[in-house]
Amino acid sequence: MKRAIVNAVVHTGEEIIENGVVIVENGTIISVQTETPNDIETIDLKGKHLAAGFIDIQINGGEKYYFSQTPNEETIQDIYDASMQYGTTHVLPCLISSSRETILKGIEAVREYRIKHQNGVIGMHLEGPFLNPQRRGAHSIDQVRKPTNEELQEIISKGKDVIKVITIAPECFTEEQLQMLIESGITISIGHSTITHKEAQAYFSKGINLVTHLFNAMTQFGHREPGLVGAVFENEEVYAPVILDGVHCDYAAAKIAYKLKQDKFFLISDATFLGRKVANFRWDKFDAHLVDGFYRNEDGNLAGATISMAEAVQNAYNHLNISADEAIKMATARVASAIGMQDKVGKIKSGFPASFVQFEADLSTITTLDLTK
């Protein structure tokens, strides 16, 4: 069925069209124009703004279930359904450092889910287990490990077309292992790492152009040793995702990072759960307790985020001194580019999914408009 979204301020990801019209058919955007066609069902936005739905490449749980604890289709559905409530139409469920069996189970669950459901679950993010134990954060010390050629090859083979992003500490890899991963085509993100500024630049020169949650679980910027953070700031090709909740990253630090990174700066949630409905959670040696709106473990350290992508976008607009259009790009087109999916999602463009967010000019309200079904 063909429908037209009319009377909207359309943020395509490339331009802003006043009084725009978006034509949709069978869940896909057909065209973006200014003329309203005759004899077609219309959806009147009454002057509201329209953009592509948000993309979250790092989300750990929905409103009820945590993917690393129960890596199955029910959890994936929970993550997708919860995300849709907050403007996020495309997700990478994130599996943190786990056993070989759990990782393979997660890969298979995502694969089977995507066969059955043609929606915005675009793959998965494997965060670990090949991390530096000194920067493991909330990851279990029992699960963090160095790769073997056999396990790495199995993950690459079984994870083909499922794992879109893998977070690693590259100092834990041999040159042969790192080359295996680079040649796999999986987007590599550096995180939970102790590498120096010089080492980071060497890894970036190999084609790695993404880090995991800038500032968190990495070597910091210093005037004598700029660290991984300094290498990200210096290298114009590297994308810098931020958990913009004011706690994982202070707004002043985010403002500085944005000034330096510009179109390589984007948003993630890294949400443990969405909706702040789960007050206490324990899995393996990982625990999270809702304290003053944030998840902390029993030691008082941060244990994942509670923020949604909609809240992150609002925070960007309110604290980074940027336009609403720029804040939207941080959750859409820019995210898609970071994972090599800029030709598939993240814009209002012919051939792209008809999944949108509608919002007020000041981003005070953001709601999902999904026309993919």
**Out of 56, 78, 245, 270, which one is annotated catalytic?**
270
302 DSSP 8-state letter: B
Where are the extended beta strands (E) located within 240-365?
Answer: 240-243, 265-268, 280-283, 286-291, 294-296, 355-359
Distance, CA of 325 to CA of 47 (rounded, Å)? 15
**Helix residue spans in 262-344 (DSSP H):** 309-319, 324-329, 333-338
Q: 16-25 and 28-33 as β-strands: parallel, antiparallel, unpaired? A: antiparallel
Question: With 0-12 CB in 10 A as exposed, 13-18 as middle and 19+ as buried, what is 224?
Answer: exposed
What is the end-to-end Cα distance of the chain in Å, rounded? Answer: 10
Cα–Cα nearest to 353, from 6, 12, 28: 28
Cα–Cα nearest to 291, from 247, 243, 242, 241: 247
Q: Does residue 263 carry a catalytic annotation?
A: no
- In this structure, the dihedral spanned by the alpha carbons of residues 283, 304, 104 and 155, taken in order and rounded to 10 degrees, is -140
Q: Which residues contact 224 (CB under 8 A, 6 or more apart)?
A: none
Residues facing residue 323 across a β-bridge: none
Cα–Cα nearest to 107, from 60, 57, 149, 164: 164
Are residues 236 and 304 in contact, defined by beta-carbon separation less than 8 angstroms? no
Residues with catalytic roles: 270
